[in-house]
Amino acid sequence: MKLKHVTGLLSAAAMSIALAGAAVAQDKVVKIGAILPMSGGTASIGAHAKAAIEVALDIINNAHPELGKLPLAKNAGLAGLGGAKVEVIFADNQGSPATGQNQALRLITEEKVAAILGAYQSGITLTSSAIAEKYGIPYLTPESVAANLTERGFKWFFRTTPIAPDFVRIYDEFLTDMKAAGGKTDSIALVHDNTEYGTSVANTIAAGFKEKGRTNVIDVAYPVNATDLQAQVLQLKEKKPDVLLMISYTSDAILFAKTMQSQDYKPPILLADDAGYSDPSFIKAVGKISQGVFNRSAWAVGPAGSPSAIVADMYKKKSGEEMEDTVGREMQGFFVLVDAIDRAGSTDPAKIQAALKATDLKPDQLIMGYKGVKFDDKGQNVLASAYIIQLQDGENYVSVWPKANAEKPPMLPYKGW
Amino acid sequence: MSFVLVQVIVGGLLLGAVYALFSSGLTLVWGMMNIVNFAHGDFVMLGMYVAYVVYTLFGGGPIFGAPLATLVLATLGVVVYFGLIRGIMKGPMLAQILGTFGLALLLRYSVFWWFGANFLSLPQDIVGGTYAFAGLRVEASRLLAGIVALLVTLALHLLLTRSSLGSKMLAVAEDATAAQLMGIRPDTMQAIAWAIAAGATGLAGALIANFFYIVPTVGETLAIVAFVTVSLGGFGSVPGALVAGLLIGVIESLSGYLIGAVYKDIVVYLLFLFFLWFRPQGLMGKS
Amino acid sequence: MRRLLWPSVFAAFAIAYPLLLSSPFQQRLGALVLLYAIAASAWNIVGGYAGQVSVGHAVFFGCGAYAAMGSYAKFGLSPLFGIPGGIVLAVGLAAIVGVPTLRLSGHYFSMATIAVAETMRLIVTNTDYVGAAVGLSGPTVARNVFDLSFISALPYYYLFLTVLAITLFITWWMTNSRMGFYLRAIKDSERAARSLGAPASRTKLYAFMLSAGLTSVAGALYAMMFGFVDPESGLGILISVKILIMAALGGAGLLFGPLVGAAILVPLEEISNNVLGGKGAGLTFVVYGAIIVLIARFQPGGILSLIQRHLRKDARPAGQGGADHAP
């Protein structure tokens, strides 16, 4: 009797410990900070990115076995941390490098986040990641493309997005293929705004094209948020370049499309460098008069029932918008970061850092069209890549290049309206 | 002169007319009440949103949108006058900057809160395509804005110089106490001036919406242009704003074409500073 | 002695603040208040005391910020060299800009200063040597203490406090000098001041140059703390307006007005962003804008003028206080 009693007690105790342990794991929350532009001129991107991260949270925190090989989808929470849930603290950078840095400090010291994702604008990524570096907290940027970000010798900084040298390679190969298909690609005009994004990407592309023997390149710069672009369109109309490469935000992309129609100007090939041309607002506003525009994107919906199509559906339900490259890269970066935390099995910054360094994701584990995710010593994803997509019907982009990923063949020349 | 240059100048004139259009309301309150309205760009923005709402709800083009925007903004002008301006008018200029800057943020982010931050746009052909005269291409929507700019300038000018309402308003602007002794109620006159100014600004917004994009922060882009236009033309001078607007439009267009677009604003600001050196009261202002 | 009571209480609080509220964010908030108080106090010299409302002080702020980051990025020197460098640039620019613009009256002066600042921003945006749109960065990892790149905000706090004290002392000294006397006369009526023999143009120019030099120091300190400057954050019109509204909200033309303004607006801005910013609905600025409107509407002279009125009323024998109230 006595022995039985003791055993009973012991087993009850064991059970309650196990239960308590489970309860602890259930309650455990991993906090991640996300710094985004949520007010000011680029606020629409912040709003879209927030929705994308919330979709990713749903995928991570709930069981989604339908998403196949996508890491973290199968079961609820993080398996590596006993089913812990992930929580994201969003912070507004207000388009200011100072505010971004203040918010990074708050996220680290007040909210005690395990890692930070941020901050869209390169200048703000620069200042906010400097704080993370000082505190030794992992910082991942899914979006910012400025070259200097990974040249600072930082140990806690990681970047998943393709950057300007990748764009050079993609555009060069794409244009070579278009020439083979009968398109004219000899002279190129780089049309870009005078922001950090526009200038730095244009400079890298100009230098890269030169190396690849494309020397017939003219540079057309304009001030961001221009009130009028007629003079630039007339300049282009006079110079008749074969390829127009547009490096523009949404505002100017819309105005360019409208002005090109009113001045009846169609280049043979209109190729856009993501940004404004990926914004669903651009398609709604001027998609009908921009038919045939090519765009760089690592996002493609894929066939129905594929993980990316399911994710696109979830995103549309959440935000009312179509999924596109910018939010896709944001979501992908978030998955990479949380996957590293899961593999680290801990919220200890050094362990997360080590796990990030050991990241080796294959294409079928990603929602984006990268060739994988693997960081070099500077923290840059060496497998980042992109497709070329085309707005063929004025409403939806379809992937047209490279051939292996193409849903439809590219359509030449640019049709416009 | 090359043919393209003619097109550039025509485009510049149309752009300048738009600048004049959205500056006329600003110059009116600035000249009459000595108030710098830092929320002016956001009044233009509100006019654009009214036009957008009219289009999405009723499918109406500028024929409905423009009058409604005028009406809504005129009402807002009166509300702003009684709610804020009357209280800070007598105060230091700084209080006016403070108050209207706060108002700008309040308006901009209330719209942001309600409509979100997405870029919106009206259909490209809402007014009717593009006209081509002998190779010159002019968008109907810009032409409409240009014509209305001229009409508004004329109407405001006639109102101020020929009508009894205008003389009463000017009397109040000159000396409110004396005007009151003559039986004119300064409050009423100033409220009317705000209604007219804000209404004209709303009208401008509704017409610009036909060819521009619509976003809560669009006022920031337009406000500085309006400031330069108004001070170049002379505070309070409606014809001055027209001349200055056209001048700036053509200079921007020409320098954008000949020198490079990123330098066109530098050219405008330097010319503006240069003008101030010779005519500190603006092109058509009273010294 | 009574005059010194409140200032000494505030000084004691300012010195003790980072020890009382010692979380990293609170310390940084304190440092930011002081930083903006320096800039707004510098602006106050020309905007408040001389009554010349500059809406282009970002240009001087940017001189300091670019000089600090430029010292490091271009010459590998400590950003501290940006302080003298920025002062030289800003004072020189103020002299060049001040001569033609200070004779403009009222709003024309304000508009001219906007044009000057915007011109400079556009020139810098299109000049590769100063980093164009990409901007200039400071030392990411401090080489030594003179790089002024700290984890804690504490060193910044006391550095800024010292600079603020110097700025306020210079302002106080100026108002009690002949220059302050002239400035008051000019502010009341420039014509009358001239006819009484006050060298109006020269006095205004000196005030403008002094204000510019001190503003550039604020810019240099700002760039050191954040380790970065680009055309928008160093020369943007928002900087000019921010400096101005802090001074105006606290009380322009009053020694401690800008400090009071900064002590209200900076925490308001940061805390409303902490609480509301992440929702992404723009509510931060709805609240921020509404509060500014209310203060402008009901206290057009600034917060400090209200407090001062009450203090003076208390100090006076009963029965005489009422005359001091605005009608």
Q: Chains A and C: how many Cβ contacts under 8 Å?
A: 107
Strands (E), chain B: 120-121, 130-133, 136-139, 213-214
Q: What is the pLDDT of residues A210-248, one digit of tens each?
A: 999 999 999 999 999 898 999 999 999 999 999 999 999
Nearest residue to C57 (alpha-carbon basis) of C67, C70, C44: C44
Q: What is the ipTM of this complex?
A: 0.91
Looking at residue C318, its pLDDT comes to: 40
Is residue B39 within 8 A of residue B269, CB to CB? The reply is no
β A29-36/A115-118 pair status? parallel
Bridge partners of residue A352, in order along the sequence: none
Which segment of A65-74, A86-95, A371-380 scores lowest on mean pLDDT?
A: A65-74
CA distance C242 to chain A (A): 13
Looking at residue B108, its pLDDT comes to: 95
Write the residue in C53, C104, C119 that is nearest to B94 by C-beta.
C53
**A378 Cβ neighbours under 8 A, 6+ residues apart:** A150, A151
Helices B218-233 and B40-58 meet at what angle, rounded to 10? 130
β B120-121/A397-401 pair status? unpaired
Chain B interface disruption, residue of C297, C303, C305, most B CBs within 10 A: C297
Q: Which element (helix H / strand E) includes A34?
A: strand A29-36
**Residue A20 in this model has a pLDDT that exceeds 50:** no
| Every domain of chain C and the residues it spans | 24-314
- Distance from C-alpha of C267 to C-alpha of C272, rounded to nearest angstrom: 8
Instruction: For chain C, give the mean pLDDT.
Output: 88
Q: How far is CA C302 from the centre of its chain?
A: 15
Q: What is the pLDDT of residues C97-125, one digit of tens each?
A: 999 899 887 888 999 999 999 999 999 99
CA distance C282 to chain B (A): 5
Domain C24-314 fold: ABC transporter involved in vitamin B12 uptake, BtuC (1.10.3470)
Which residues in chain A have their CB less than 8 angstroms from residue C273's CB?
91-92, 94, 99, 103
Which segment of A153-157, B165-169, C168-172 scores lowest on mean pLDDT?
A: B165-169
CA distance C309 to chain A (A): 35
Residues of chain B with pLDDT under 70: 1, 286-287
Q: What is the pTM of this model?
A: 0.91
Which residues in chain A have their CB less than 8 angstroms from residue C222's CB?
98
Q: Which element (helix H / strand E) includes B68?
A: helix B62-80
Kindly state the tokens that stand for B153. Answer: 């300038």
Write the residue in A222, A229, A281 that is nearest to B119 by C-beta.
A281
**A189 Cβ neighbours under 8 A, 6+ residues apart:** A217, A218, A219, A220, A236, A239, A241, A243, A244, A245, A267
β A387-391/A294-297 pair status? antiparallel
Nearest residue to C140 (alpha-carbon basis) of C227, C230, C24: C227
- Distance from C-alpha of C248 to C-alpha of C300, rounded to nearest angstrom: 8
Instruction: For chain A, give the mean pLDDT.
Output: 90
